[in-house]
Structure 1
């Protein structure tokens, strides 16, 4: 029997809903343009800012564990893997080696899990609800942590995702290895603004000019992705609810597919997974039933990095697309391996359930878990490897 689902959380701002749809679609297109413009600014600025110090910077992050931690902590602070993955794409376009960027992408997957874990604290006043909500939230955490434990060593030893993504780029680009296209319409529409900023900063030293471009790009990308999510929710919330109602309790394939589709609609895996937490906390659905849906959210969030890669032209265009394909192939392969193998499949929900029982009895453990996993452990690892 299909579980009854009532969606009551994560609604878009009321003011947006009142706007005509044509205006909302126009705003959305404008924000997509802003995101692509931001990627161009970050890539150009990163290249300028690191030109004189690239070797020292890359040597600092060359340790895969350090790259993992950078991606993880940045995403935990910003609470958006879409934002961080887009920034990583732009940094690769600016010269960041792909081998350093791959662990950063993996870390971003862990860092994004913090959002729904924080959401679960909203049920802390009721022991039963808190246990269920924390259980639902940390399934995502454990899955992403296991994915890193499995695939980061394989990447270090064999360059697994570097090879897979390179093959994907060659297929898409029909064998191109250095320049994706002689004409890029996205570059054509964004370059006038990028050139305008470049001319305005022409009197400054390259390093300072680059830093300003990076900061402008960071601010613009956070703004655009945040409001893209809100507008997409206002446009798609009814459809997203329908997807959700038809997803849970219909089997793993339907759940994974629906989680992917819903995340594509709202442009945020944090929104998709956080939406599940109050449903489980209130006893509307079970934590186990949302497990496949959560995995689909991991796949759906890859679209943002792919869109960001479209803004890149020139010698590093193929590399920018490659790191976006790393994000996609990593999340797809993680679902296939961890959920596909029966002896691993139950580890994330089982461990999250056991942890939730302890956290429900000692609520401070929940706060300690968030601080420890997402901040203190990474800081300790930095001290060890530095």
Structure 2
């Protein structure tokens, strides 16, 4: 006899849904554990491969523009600043000098904005719609470019971000102590790191170190990819609700909600890409969406901070570069959005570009290729010759 009780069927569906959600959250936790372990593996591998002489290996990288370009191109190709900054944290823990890593982090901010710019091309058939969508996408680009123009010279001249990052890291870690026995996260990931280290040891220092770096990078790719995929299933609906509720209720609300949504979905690219269709349809204006993108920049820093908690190597330096990433993005919002004469420069630049690209679609393509690939490539070539 077939059970046709609709109430029982609804209850069974609800139980299945809850069981599925519970299992997905367990999977997210396991992937976060894998991510932290992978960053630690990279740090250990880099330290092993360089024999503790990483600073000598990177002595050639005296030009900060080279680091900026590397960060930009790497993130544009991978389309994930979280992945790139997590790799940078691992490398710094293994000996990559912090001063070399700072411009790379800045470049990662620029490179991550390619995703929503590409998403805006989906509106290319409708002229007015495309102008709005392309402007909403590129306002993120212009904000990040202005941040680099302001803070890179300050970093070169005064080491501003490096000093602030070091001060913040010193609160959470003691030099050469790595928070002593209080670092439970590091203790929890030690079995995985030690297992991989044991396998790599049989290959010799250099090859074993390279093996650990490659494996660590691959694990970061996989973990962040699947964390993003799972969190999109679990949280994107909630993220949309937060976004719709907060946008248009003032800049502070927009920045806070952009930060929260990015933390929930672990991807600033996803956060900013959610806004492009809303802008294209005319549901929200560029000035309403703009603060939300600023929050996305801040929210994406959580991944690097998480990754820095359990590195096997220089914990202080790893925390320092993670805090530099956070400080850079927070200061960018405070300075550019806080100062009235700078506040809407990214908006005006994005509006002009959106209208220009709507008139000539090839300009949009030239902009994407030029900003994210051609100009960085030329700069890298020039710096190599200097």
Q: Does TM, scored on the shorter chain, surpass 0.5? A: yes
> Any stretches of 5+ residues in structure 1 without a counterpart?
1-15
- Is the Cα–Cα contact under 8 Å of residues 276 and 290 in structure 1 kept in the other structure? yes
2:179 maps to which residue? 181
1:5 maps to which residue? none
Any idea what the Cα deviations from partners look like across 1:13-55, whole Å, max 9, x if unmatched?
xxx9796221011101110111011101111111222338735
- Is the Cα–Cα contact under 8 Å of residues 55 and 97 in structure 2 kept in the other structure? no
**What is the TM-score when the length of structure 1 is the normalising length?**
0.92
1:199 maps to which residue? 198
Say which of 366, 369, 375 aligns to 1:368. Answer: 366
Report matched runs for 1:202-351 at 5 Å.
202-314=201-313, 316-351=314-349
Q: Equivalent residue of 1:20, what SS?
A: helix
Change (3 A) 1:47 1:121: same
d(CA) in 2 for partners of 1:52, 1:102:
20
- Is the Cα–Cα contact under 8 Å of residues 305 and 324 in structure 1 kept in the other structure? yes
Q: Equivalent residue of 1:372, what SS?
A: helix
- Is the Cα–Cα contact under 8 Å of residues 181 and 313 in structure 1 kept in the other structure? no
Q: CA deviation at 1:195?
A: 1.9
* Aligned residues between the structures: 368
Structure showing greater radius of gyration is 2
Report matched runs for 1:29-68 at 5 Å.
29-51=29-51, 54-55=54-55, 57-68=57-68
1:136 maps to which residue? 136
d(CA) in 2 for partners of 1:378, 1:56:
25
- Is the Cα–Cα contact under 8 Å of residues 130 and 360 in structure 1 kept in the other structure? yes
d(CA) in 1 for partners of 2:19, 2:354:
42
**What is the TM-score when the length of structure 2 is the normalising length?**
0.92
Deviates more, 1:48-57 or 1:212-221: 48-57
d(CA) in 1 for partners of 2:62, 2:40:
24
Q: Equivalent residue of 1:375, what SS?
A: helix
Change (3 A) 1:172 1:191: closer
Any idea what the Cα deviations from partners look like across 1:163-207, whole Å, max 9, x if unmatched?
11111122334xx23322222222222222222222223232322
Q: CA deviation at 1:214?
A: 1.1
1:70 maps to which residue? 70
- Is the Cα–Cα contact under 8 Å of residues 134 and 356 in structure 1 kept in the other structure? yes
> Any stretches of 5+ residues in structure 2 without a counterpart?
1-15
Deviates more, 1:178-187 or 1:88-97: 178-187
Q: 1 or 2, which has the higher helix percentage?
A: 2
- Is the Cα–Cα contact under 8 Å of residues 55 and 95 in structure 2 kept in the other structure? no
d(CA) in 1 for partners of 2:92, 2:321:
8
Deviates more, 1:272-281 or 1:192-201: 192-201
Any idea what the Cα deviations from partners look like across 1:69-105, whole Å, max 9, x if unmatched?
1111111110001111111111000000111111111
d(CA) in 1 for partners of 2:112, 2:99:
21
Change (3 A) 1:280 1:362: same
Q: Give the CA RMSD over aligned residues.
A: 1.7
